[in-house]
Amino acid sequence: MAIPLAPAPAPDRPRERLWSLGPPALSTLELLAVLLGTGATEQGAEEVAAGLLERVGGSLRELRSRPPAELLRSRGVGPAKGARLLAALELAARLVEERRPTHPRIRDPADVAALLGPRLRDLPVEEFHVLALDSQSRVRRDVLVSRGLLNSALVHPREVFRAAIAEAAAGIILAHNHPSGDPTPSPEDRAATRQLVEAGRLLDLPVYDHVIVAGDRFLSFVAAGLL
């Protein structure tokens, strides 16, 4: 008695491969198929993508240079799919032209004051910020954690470290302002800082400093021997 053969496994679909392997693992044809989403009658998305590439000799640069009306003459490409392709090609072109952002480097507390002072010094309420730093002490992200009424900004370790962990930060610097113009740390400032330093030790994410901005003055917990 013959044993029926199991059907051959279907090839991985481009969208599934993208999520499992990452976009770089996909061919140009597969990436176009993901953008198209669906094919046409008796044609899958990959076949439609293959037809597009064939018209331009496999060149995305040539595809972008063609008039939109010519794109719509390709089998299986209507206004909606054509718009997605045109938008994706334009985004790719703008990405190439976009400059890589520069990240300021923090060398001392004065750098923190120079970075955040213009924003914090004249505020009528307290804002508590976290600077997420990379291993070269460059600021990856400035996170506003809380905004309080006068001197009652509330800070929770969960909110402080969430963004830093998401940024894969090597360490963080805390900063907030005193609308009173006096940068002297309050008992609440000291207690909150101790709590955050301990939380950072548990998470292996060190707190490098806490800088208080008050008008044109500032205070560093490290420089003051408070950290």
Residue type, 103: H
Q: Which residues of 124-140 are buried (b: 16+ CB within 10 A; e: fewer)?
A: eebbbbbbbbbeebebb
Report the pLDDT value the prediction gives residue 7, as an integer from 0 to 100: 42
- The ranges assigned to domains in the chain are 14-97, 109-220
Helices (H), 66-108: 68-72, 79-97
In sequence order, what DSSP letters do the residues of 111-130 get, joined into one string? HHHHHHHHHHTT-SS-EEEE
Output the CATH code of domain 109-220.
3.40.140.10
pLDDT single digits (tens) 145-181: 888 754 445 678 888 898 889 888 999 999 999 999 9
pLDDT given for residue 149 in this prediction: 52
Cα(107)–Cα(85) distance, rounded to whole angstroms?
45
Check whether domain 14-97 has CATH 2.60.120, yes or no: no
| Segment-wise mean pLDDT, segments of 10 residues, the chain, 227 residues | 44 79 88 84 83 87 85 84 88 80 87 93 90 93 79 70 89 94 93 93 95 94 93
Task: Give the helix/strand (H/E) hosting 146.
Answer: strand 139-147
